[in-house]
Structure formats: structure tokens, C-alpha cells
């Protein structure tokens, strides 16, 4: 559950936060590019943004289906999506800094570039989220199993946290864009720059790997740190996105919104106290904004904790249970059935002729069936298995094996091991273990 929650946050947080900040800049009532626009034109800009987001989501769904059913080169598709996102991100960032007197064409280009940027970000991020449930279903496992539902809950929780964080950042960004446009433009530009640097590194890696552009060792050395430390970009964007709610809570850029202003009486030329209803309305708005800003900081703090503390917790090495005793008679290992009939995982180890420790596991699957296999598989090697609730888990890839499939070939299942049951005991031949000692070197 924790693993899939972290994966969902990793794949969706940057997209959610950037979409929120771009929306805040474009749709703020006092944003620099839309101060003088009419209501109908403003509604058209919102419609364009919604259409591009819907198109990006639909394209992501189509790509997901093609990825599962055909041999489509997802890396190539992602690279061109990233290139488009970089181009439109740069255009939007440049137009964002134009003054309030920009022409209508400039304003429309700003909204068009932000809309296409939003669609490209969704097109890039959503296929990974859509493909996550495919990892939940193992061979012979139902989608209504406990393990599937637990993993699905983790993925949905991570996605919901990213969405709520983006929503709170939108409210904070919109408020800051209204009261302090210049600082917000600096913050948004910094977030876009960090994300575009990450996108450029990933795109260049693919283009050089496919020789679409010549391999440049100097450039490759420059982008390698970015490729090896993807979480740093997530942390950087998260910290930048936390600036609007943090600055608003401190009141640095919005002191005039913290205390009800006096209503100026133009006829008398003097200040009079505002209507009590206005004061209550302003206080309620202030409380609402403070709650939203506090929620934004908490929701942005959780992903940082998830990608550090929770990730370390979920990836900590699982200690395999110790090997159990058995009786060695001639060329056979003899294990009493009474020792292994409780339905749990039992581990055994034997030293081969070259002193290599060969491990195997035994699980009783039903009243008359046993699952016997090496403590290794063809995919993950000899990392071993451990028991968690009703499942047998691969220690390397965290794949859950259904007990009924142990003893059969395929996937991450343990390599089957021959055995016989005779006179109330399970018999395993040493020659079978000797033949598999190469797997444990």
C-alpha cells in the first residue's frame, strides 16, 4: 500500500502543482493579462483550458490502452510530449512577463500556450497512473482480493493527496496573483524552470540513446545528475509551490487583507467605520484563506515525508526467517509433515558440494497439495521470499504470489523443486538441490 501511494505521488504531484499555479496565473481576476478582458472572453479562455485538459486526459487513456495491447514505443511518445511541454512552457513564461498593456493577441497566445502546456503535462503523467492497477493483479489473483484492494487504496490515496495539494495551491496562488502579481510571477517562473530542466534531461537522454541527436559526452555528464536524482526536482517544485501559502500566512504581501479596511465616504470626505456585515464577511474570508493556506502547507509537506521517511520504511530490507532443522539420510532430506502442515512458509537450507548454501521453501496449499520451490526465481534471483498475511512476497520486487501457484513455473514464482511424500514425511533429493546451486552463488 505504501509503495503504490508513493508511486502515485511521484507521478502526479508535480503535474498537479504546476497546473494549479498556471491556472491561478491565468484565471486570477486581477492577473496581469486579463485585467481588461470582458466576461465573455474570460469564459472562452476557461473553456479552452478545460478542452486542452480533457484532450490530454483522453490522449493519456488512449496511450495507456495502446501500451497494454500493442508494442507502441512509449519512450518516443513521451519524448515528443516533453519537447512540446518545454516549448509551450517557455512561450507561456515569456508572455507571463509582458506588462498589463499587452495586446489582445498576446493575451490570447498566453492563454493558448498555458492550455496546451496543461494538456501536455496531463498526457505525460496520467498513463503511469492508469497503468498502476495492472501491477496489482498477480497470476491467479482476483481483482476483489484483499491485496488488490489494499494496493488500489494506496494508489488512490497518493493521487488524492496530489490533487488536494494542487487545489489548495490554486487558491493560494490565485490570492497571491491578485494582491502581489510580481512575486507570484517570480515563483511560477521558478517552478516552470525547474520542471523544464527535468523534462529536458529526460528528453535528451532518450534522443541521444536512440541517436536521434549525436551523443555528446559532455552534455550526457551534465544531465546524469538530473536523471539519477529525480526526487530532487519533486522536492524543488514542492518547496517553490509552498511559497505562496507561506507568504500569505505571514502577511508579507497582503497585510491590507488581514484587517477590514475603512470605507471612504466620498461625499463627506472622511473615513467611516464599515458596515458590520462587511466586517464579518471580511473576517470569514480571512479565516477561510488561512485554513486553505495551512492545508496547502500540510498537503505539500506530506509528499516530502512520503518520498523520504515512508519510502525508506517501505524499502527497508526484510530479514528472511531462519532455516529450520531437517533430517539428512543418505542422499535425501527428510522433513516430517507435522512440521510443515500449518499453512505458513517454512525455509530450509543445505550446503552443496562447494559449500554454497542452497535454500528452498515449503508451503502447504491445501489438504492434499504442497508448494515446494527454491528460495529464488528466474527473474529476481536468490533474494528470497517472505510471508505477509496470506501471501508469499518476493523480497526484491514486492510481488505477491498466490499460494496456490507456488510449485508452478512462471512470473516471479519460486523455481519448482521436485519432492515426494512418504511415510508421513516430505522427501527432497540432494541431487536436485546440487543441480541448482548455481542460482545461489
| CB burial of residue 158 (10 Å; 0-12, 13-18, 19+) | buried
Q: Against a cut of 0.75, is the pTM above it?
A: no
Instruction: Give pLDDT < 50 ranges for the chain.
Output: 30-38, 101, 139-140, 255-270
SS3 99: coil
Residue 12 contacts residue 57 (beta carbons within 8 Å): no
| Side-chain half-sphere CA neighbours of 60 within 13 A | 21
Instruction: Phi first, then psi: give them for residue 41, nearest 5 degrees.
Output: -70, -35
Residue 45 contacts residue 155 (beta carbons within 8 Å): no
Q: What counts of helices (H) and strands (E) characterise the chain?
A: 13, 12
Neighbours of 80 (CB within 10 A): 13
Alpha-carbon gap, residue 226 to 354, rounded angstroms: 44
pLDDT value, residue 68: 72
pLDDT value, residue 181: 80
Sketch the domain layout of the chain as residue ranges: 2-314, 327-440
pLDDT value, residue 144: 65
pLDDT value, residue 164: 92
Tens of pLDDT, residue by residue over 273-331, are: 667 777 777 778 778 888 888 998 999 998 888 888 777 776 666 778 888 888 888 88
Of 2.40.30.10, 2.102.10.10, 1.10.240.10, 2.130.10.10, the CATH number of 327-440 is 2.102.10.10
Amino acid at each position: 500500500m505504501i509503495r503504490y501511494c508513493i508511486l502515485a505521488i511521484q507521478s502526479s504531484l508535480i503535474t498537479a502543482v504546476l497546473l494549479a499555479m498556471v491556472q491561478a496565473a491565468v484565471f486570477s481576476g486581477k492577473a496581469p493579462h486579463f485585467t481588461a478582458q470582458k466576461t465573455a472572453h474570460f469564459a472562452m479562455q476557461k473553456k479552452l483550458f478545460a478542452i486542452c485538459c480533457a484532450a490530454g486526459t483522453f490522449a493519456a487513456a488512449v496511450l495507456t490502452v495502446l501500451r497494454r495491447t500493442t508494442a507502441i514505443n512509449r519512450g518516443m511518445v513521451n519524448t515528443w510530449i516533453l519537447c512540446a511541454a518545454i516549448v509551450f512552457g517557455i512561450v507561456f513564461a515569456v508572455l507571463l512577463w509582458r506588462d498589463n498593456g499587452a495586446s489582445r493577441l498576446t493575451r490570447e497566445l498566453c492563454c493558448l500556450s498555458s492550455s496546451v502546456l496543461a494538456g501536455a503535462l496531463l498526457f505525460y503523467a496520467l498513463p503511469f497512473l492508469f497503468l498502476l492497477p495492472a501491477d496489482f493483479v498477480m497470476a491467479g489473483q482476483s481483482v476483489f482480493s484483499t491485496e488488490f484492494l489494499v494496493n488500489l487504496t494506496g494508489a488512490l490515496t497518493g493521487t488524492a493527496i496530489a490533487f488536494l495539494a494542487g487545489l489548495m495551491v490554486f487558491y493560494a496562488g490565485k490570492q497571491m496573483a491578485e494582491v502581489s502579481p510580481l512575486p507570484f510571477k517570480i515563483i511560477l517562473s521558478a517552478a516552470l524552470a525547474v520542471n523544464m530542466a527535468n523534462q529536458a534531461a529526460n528528453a535528451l537522454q532518450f534522443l541521444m540513446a536512440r541517436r536521434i541527436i549525436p551523443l555528446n559526452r559532455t552534455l550526457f555528464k551534465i544531465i546524469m545528475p538530473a536523471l539519477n536524482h529525480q526526487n530532487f526536482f519533486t522536492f524543488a517544485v514542492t518547496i517553490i509551490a509552498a511559497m505562496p501559502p507561506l507568504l500569505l500566512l505571514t502577511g508579507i504581501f497582503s497585510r491590507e487583507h488581514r484587517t477590514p479596511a475603512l470605507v471612504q465616504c466620498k461625499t463627506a470626505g472622511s473615513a467611516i467605520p464599515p458596515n458590520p456585515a462587511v466586517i464579518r464577511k471580511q473576517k470569514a474570508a480571512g479565516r477561510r484563506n488561512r485554513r486553505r493556506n495551512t492545508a496547502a502547507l500540510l498537503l505539500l509537506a506530506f509528499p516530502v515525508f512520503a518520498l523520504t521517511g515512508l519510502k525508506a520504511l517501505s524499502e527497508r530490507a526484510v530479514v528472511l526467517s531462519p532455516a529450520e532443522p531437517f533430517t539428512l539420510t543418505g542422499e535425501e532430506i527428510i522433513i516430517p509433515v507435522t512440521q510443515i502442515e500449518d499453512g505458513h512458509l517454512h525455509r530450509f537450507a543445505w550446503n552443496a558440494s562447494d559449500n554454497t548454501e542452497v535454500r528452498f521453501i515449503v508451503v502447504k496449499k491445501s489438504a492434499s497439495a504442497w508448494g515446494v520451490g527454491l528460495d529464488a526465481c528466474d527473474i529476481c534471483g536468490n533474494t528470497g521470499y517472505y510471508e505477509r498475511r496470506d501471501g508469499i512476497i518476493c523480497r526484491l520486487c514486492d510481488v505477491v504470489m498466490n499460494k496456490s501457484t507456488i510449485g508452478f513455473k512462471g512470473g516471479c514464482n519460486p523455481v519448482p523443486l521436485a519432492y515426494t511424500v512418504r511415510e508421513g514425511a516430505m522427501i527432497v533429493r540432494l541431487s536436485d538441490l546440487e543441480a541448482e546451486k548455481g542460482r545461489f552463488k
